[in-house]
Amino acid sequence: HRFYGESKPFGNDSYKSADTLGYLTSTQALADFAVLITSLKQNLSAVDAPVVVFGGSYGGMLASWFRLKYPHVAMGALASSAPILQFDDITPWSSFYDAVSQDFKSESLNCFSVIKAVWDVLDYRGSNDSGLLELSKTFRACKTVRFPSSLSNWLWTAFTYTAMVDYPTPANFMMNLPAYPVKEMCKIIDSFPVGADVVEKAFTAASLYYNYTGDQKCFEMEGGDDPHGLSGWGWQACTEMVMPMTVSNESMFPPSGFSYEEKSEGCFASYEVRPRMNWITTEYGGHVSFLSDFLMFTSEPS
């Protein structure tokens, strides 16, 4: 995918400005795949070979959209965990974090409750310099953190990504993790004695995500690199991939809302661009009635 991994069309300047990042779009990526597949079939003397595209998460979205936009190139698509309904008003905005929270709650109510309680404790203890110093020691930060939000984001990422890759086998898609990592995280939290510090519990559980192999002596909480190569996603989320997400009171994360206006201002501050709020459903469709027709069309009997 252009702009991801080593596919940087402008080298180290690929993320420099909107002038270069403007070529990072899902439609351009789909066109790349169409050209690549067509070229490969010709080069391999397999022009008539049927093609099925595969993808997961954002890649799953691309797979489904590719089948929609290039039916003459691909005869089918397998899209796994593809949030093609996470746009406009198609699905409840709280659905993602509700699902993540349910993953932990289904393993252990205590685990869920500990994570739900830790955010307020972090804010309270991190409200002054001495508290941040102590929290930095607890979190084994490589440098003393300046903001309590840095610690919250570190935990938030660990719990969210672990739920996203809660596979039944060991895997290293995002990080090296054991089978059923959500279950393993909750086992860690539940193993603490009654009355143990809630921050210590949450930190130790989150460390499974960042340090399952045990080779990290300290953790970069602020100003770290981009270990997953996702630098371009911020741009896509600020141009076409506007997926409204909120956090409900039932979630284990702090409640929060979503505002298109705030999203627009944040994107302009970061990239000097305004989001195309409804572009995805304009370009690919998305409402249930449309998708039902599409799925019926693509599910013809063999």
- Residue ranges per domain, the chain? 11-84+286-298, 92-276
Q: Where residue 227 falls among pLDDT bands split at 50, 70, 90?
A: low
Q: Is the dihedral of CA 257, 263, 265, 267 positive or negative?
A: positive
CATH number of 92-276: 1.20.120.980
Flag whether pLDDT at 298 surpasses 80: no
Flag whether pLDDT at 294 surpasses 90: no
In whole angstroms, give the CA distance from residue 183 to residue 187: 6
In whole angstroms, give the CA distance from residue 121 to residue 205: 16
pLDDT reported for residue 223: 73
Flag whether pLDDT at 55 surpasses 70: yes
pLDDT reported for residue 300: 47
Average pLDDT, stretch 191-201?
95
Q: Is 9 helix (H, G, I), strand (E, B) or coil?
A: coil
pLDDT reported for residue 292: 52
pLDDT reported for residue 295: 53
Flag whether pLDDT at 111 surpasses 70: yes
Which of 28-42, 154-168, 181-195, 223-237 bottoms out in mean pLDDT, i.e. has the lowest? 223-237
Q: Which residue has the higher pLDDT, 180 or 226?
A: 180
Segment 228-248, tens digit of pLDDT: 667 789 999 999 999 999 999
How buried is residue 182: exposed, middle or buried, by Cβ count under 10 Å (0-12/13-18/19+)?
Answer: buried
How confident is the prediction for the chain on average, in pLDDT? Answer: 91
In whole angstroms, give the CA distance from residue 208 to residue 90: 35
Q: Where residue 178 falls among pLDDT bands split at 50, 70, 90?
A: very high
